[in-house]
Amino acid sequence: MARAGAILRALALAYRRDQKSLQTVVGNNFFIVSALLLQSAGGFIYLIIGLVLLFPLSTDPLRKIPASRLALWPIQRRERWLLRVVSPWINPLSWAIAGLAVWAARGKVTLGFWGLAAGLFAAGFLLSDLSFVSTQTVWRLIPQFPGPLNQLIRKNLREMLSTLDLYCALLLSLSAVVCRVLRVALPPEGLLAITVLVVLALSSYAQCLFGLDGAGGLGRYRLLPLRGWQILAAKDAAFLLVVIPLTLPLAPLAGIGAALVALTVGHEPSVAHPRKQTRWRFSSGASLVFGIFQAVLMAVGAAGVFFSSALVLIPCAALWALSVLYYGRVMERWFGE
């Protein structure tokens, strides 16, 4: 029992550290704009953030121990059973679900709501232990792209797929698809607003394009026979390849305009002040003021394309190209140091 107790204490410590890393949502543009601008009207946005956070929070704690290492530990059969039964209760969500069950029994929460919460928790717990959900399987589905930047673009897409920002944007886009299927009439301003929110959900990632590369990744960029602008363009290409399909059911041209503005503004902190990010967490922006500044310019660019003319994309694209060239040279100077 002492061995099982030591493992459970280590898991509890790892879980507390893991939950602290989820606090990056506070530095995310999506949360900042929802809290400051939407205020009470941002309830739907908070619900989306909560749903996205639910799955990393509800994973099986024993998954933190590599299976090969756990198999080598001198643990008796009954201790393994004890770990399997007790380890889920390290997760605070387990206690929250149990509390909902007690509340439901007293008639203050419907059984349907309790069942939904428990089902979502169980889905996150079970899916984390199924082999067919392996990220390696998903990575193989990423298509090939023509040109010398193929593998860089694919690698950058894999990085975006391992951020929670993308799944917030995906839920917003899917809500628009549901409205289209149900033939719910959305005003033009509503389409624009949701489009901006979709790009806003990804905008913090545009401020830390190299955050998931790590020190080793940045060192490898020095060895590539590529110019700085090409490396930066591969990052931006992956970003646009995500934004375009997500905004197709909304206002795609306005979405491209907002994305180009987000990347143009985001190059400065990405290159000049790179910050390390954590996979399967929300991206953390440079600062509160910078995030609001980026969001406002995105909204202006998207509104210009949507209400004025698609020709507004030309200055947006020109500014983006100049930004890529300039910060590409900054990267090359950094490589030479």
Same domain, residue pair 97 and 199: no
Question: Could you report the per-residue pLDDT of 202-240, keeping only the tens digit for each?
Answer: 999 999 999 999 777 878 888 889 999 999 999 999 999
Helix axis angle for 188-206 and 228-247, nearest 10°, is 150
Same domain, residue pair 101 and 164: no
Domain span including residue 103: 2-139
Q: Which two tokens stand for residue 281?
A: 């967490």
Residue 175 burial class via C-beta count within 10 angstroms: exposed 0-12, middle 13-18, buried 19 and up: middle
Contact assessment for residue 32 and residue 292, using Cβ atoms and an 8 Å cutoff = yes
Taking alpha carbons only, the member of 317, 312, 302, 194 closest to residue 263 is 317
The whole-number pLDDT of residue 142 equals: 86
Taking alpha carbons only, the member of 167, 162, 195 closest to residue 49 is 167
Residue with more model confidence, 38 or 261: 261
Average of pLDDT values for 305-319? 95
Q: Which of 86, 114, 139 is the last residue of a domain?
A: 139
Mean pLDDT for the chain? 79
Same domain, residue pair 325 and 202: yes
Of the candidate ranges 11-15, 175-179, 320-324, the one whose mean pLDDT is the lowest: 11-15
Same domain, residue pair 131 and 175: no
Same domain, residue pair 185 and 307: yes
Task: Give percent of the chain with pLDDT exceeding 90.
Answer: 37
Q: Kindly state whether residue 145 falls inside one of the protein's structural domains.
A: no
Write the DSSP symbol of residue 144.
Answer: P
Question: Could you report the per-residue pLDDT of 1-10, keeping only the tens digit for each?
Answer: 666 666 666 6
Q: Which of 86, 108, 139 is the last residue of a domain?
A: 139
Q: Which two tokens stand for residue 201?
A: 């959900």
Confidence of residue 185 (pLDDT cuts 50, 70, 90): confident
Average of pLDDT values for 253-267? 97
The whole-number pLDDT of residue 246 equals: 96
Same domain, residue pair 95 and 180: no
Question: Could you report the per-residue pLDDT of 99-112, keeping only the tens digit for each?
Answer: 545 554 455 555 55
Q: Which of 139, 160, 189 is the last residue of a domain?
A: 139
The whole-number pLDDT of residue 72 equals: 65
- Integer-rounded Cα Rg, in Å, for the chain is 22
Instruction: Indicate the number of domains in the chain.
Output: 2
The whole-number pLDDT of residue 217 equals: 81
Residue 245 and residue 156: Cα distance in Å, rounded? 16
Average of pLDDT values for 57-81? 65
Start-end of H helices in the chain: 2-21, 29-33, 43-57, 67-72, 77-86, 92-105, 111-127, 135-140, 150-161, 164-181, 188-206, 214-223, 228-247, 252-272, 288-303, 313-336
Q: Kindly state whether residue 144 falls inside one of the protein's structural domains.
A: no
Question: Could you report the per-residue pLDDT of 115-156, keeping only the tens digit for each?
Answer: 555 555 555 555 555 444 455 556 677 889 998 999 999 999
